[in-house]
């Protein structure tokens, strides 16, 4: 297991979990609606599958929020 | 600018603030802020900026007041239903503070009119409800080197960041608009009315901080909150070198009118 931080909260994940898998385990139903930062760097969408997470990583999901009226 | 006795009285609680004082209040009174959208976010922004004495407030919105707006768009009252939103907003602002000059644009911001409208303002507020215009505001402000406040609300959540030239822009975070149908707007998904006030007043505070130079703006960080848990969070963000508009080799060099997203609530669950 690896300990990471997702949106400021501790989370345990399997070793070598990819960002794409993390999206699924965090129930992000519309991955196209989220931008992801890994350790404060944005990750290109096409690299979600190849980006593997390790102990101590910090991930932020940034959601599109379009309302205002 | 020489304040009258009434003005000194009116703005006394600002003038008392060491960081603002008479000098800061003068900056507010000579400031020019454009509010895009006289709705949920634009309403509290307009009310607070008017009360603060912002010299010129521009409001752009092509809509008329609808009964369903009144749950959160607190600048509009029941008798205003069917009245152009910019007119309804102008009437309230002038009643709150006759010092404010209000300029109204009863239209929507487009690739064609954006540069011409924003050029006269010091700071721009994004109070819109759709991604095409949010991206348009970002691109126009980046290309014209104008600071602006991004705001977004949905259900019980809100997010905001402040752009100042040289710092991360909205596209650094969100590369391009989401596919149509993908993200519901408040009209499809609903929004807790008070959320609009929570976020709009943050945007108003950012505008006043910008005008007076007081404090640290929400640059290079996205402030998010959830009203169910009342968790507030600031996420540090960096300007991205491959940003389509502010990056080293920008692909966005002119303004784009993206298609209006048509949302399908049934396809979305969070």
User: What are the extents of the domains in chain A?
Assistant: 2-63
**Is residue B18 situated within a structural domain?**
no
- Give the per-residue pLDDT at B185: 65
pLDDT of residue B269: 33
Q: Is the model's pLDDT at A33 over the cut of 60?
A: yes
Query: Is B178 in CB contact (< 8 Å) with chain A?
Result: yes
CATH of the domain at B254: 3.40.50.720
The model's confidence at residue A30, banded by pLDDT at 50, 70 and 90, is confident
Residue B67's SS3 state is helix
B1: in domain: no
Domain A2-63 has CATH 3.10.20.30: yes
Range of the domain at B141: 31-267
CA A4/CA B85 separation, integer angstroms: 47
Residue B101 domain-assigned? yes
- pLDDT at site B268: 35
* Chain A residues near residue B126 by CB distance under 8 angstroms: 68
Interface A–B counts its CB contacts (< 8 A) at: 98
* Residue B186 confidence (pLDDT): 63
Sorted by sequence, the CB contacts under 8 Å of residue B23 that are 6+ apart come out as: none
**B9 inside domain:** no
Q: Is residue B10 part of a domain?
A: no
Grouped pLDDT means (10 residues each) for chain B, 270 residues: 94 98 98 97 98 98 97 98 98 98 98 98 96 96 98 95 98 89 72 96 98 98 97 95 95 89 37
Is B238 domain-assigned? yes
pTM of the model: 0.93
Chain A: residue whose CA lies nearest to B68: A69
Where on the phi/psi map is residue B111: left (φ > 0), alpha (ψ -120 to 50), or beta?
A: alpha
DSSP B133: H
The structure tokens listed for B128 are 């819109």
In a domain, B17, yes or no: no
**Contact present, B173 and B219 (Cβ < 8 Å):** no
Give the number of domains in chain B: 1
What residues 28-67 of chain A have any CB closer than 8 A to a CB of chain B?
A: 29-30, 32-33, 35, 37, 40-42, 60, 62-67
Q: Is residue B92 part of a domain?
A: yes
State yes or no: pLDDT of A54 exceeds 50. Answer: yes
| pLDDT attached to residue B202 | 98
Distance, in Å, from the CA atom of B129 to the CA atom of A68, rounded to the nearest integer, reads: 4
């Amino acid at each position: 297991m690896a300990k990471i931080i997702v949106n400021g909260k501790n989370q345990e994940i399997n070793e070598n979990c990819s960002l794409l898998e993390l999206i699924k385990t965090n129930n992000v139903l519309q991955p196209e609606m989220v931008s992801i930062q890994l350790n404060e760097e944005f990750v290109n969408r096409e690299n979600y599958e190849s980006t593997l997470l390790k102990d101590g990583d910090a991930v932020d999901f940034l959601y599109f929020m379009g309302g205002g009226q | 600018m020489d304040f009258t006795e009434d003005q000194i009285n009116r703005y006394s609680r600002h003038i008392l603030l060491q960081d603002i004082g008479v000098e800061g209040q003068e900056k507010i009174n000579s400031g020019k802020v454009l509010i895009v959208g006289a709705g949920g976010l634009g309403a509290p922004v307009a009310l607070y900026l008017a009360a603060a004495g912002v010299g010129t407030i521009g409001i752009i919105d092509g809509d008329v007041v609808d009964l369903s707006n009144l749950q959160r768009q607190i600048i509009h009252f029941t008798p205003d239903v069917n009245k152009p939103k910019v007119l309804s907003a102008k009437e309230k602002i002038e009643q709150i503070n006759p010092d404010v000059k209000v300029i109204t644009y009863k239209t929507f911001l487009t690739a064609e009119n954006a540069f011409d409208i924003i050029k006269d303002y010091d700071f721009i507020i994004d109070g819109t409800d759709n991604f095409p215009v949010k991206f348009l505001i970002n691109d126009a402000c980046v290309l014209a080197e104008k600071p602006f406040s991004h705001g977004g609300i949905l259900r019980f959540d809100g997010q905001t960041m402040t752009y100042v030239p040289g710092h991360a822009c909205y596209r650094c975070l969100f590369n391009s608009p989401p596919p149509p149908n993908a993200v519901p707007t408040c009209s499809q998904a609903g929004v807790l009315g008070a959320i609009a006030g929570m976020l709009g007043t943050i945007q108003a505070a950012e505008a006043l901080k910008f005008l007076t130079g007081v404090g640290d703006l929400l640059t290079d960080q996205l402030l998010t909150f959830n009203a169910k848990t009342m968790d507030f969070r600031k996420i540090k963000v960096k300007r991205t070198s491959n940003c389509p508009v502010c990056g080293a080799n920008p692909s966005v060099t002119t303004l784009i009118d993206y298609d209006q997203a048509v949302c399908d609530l049934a396809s979305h669950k969070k």
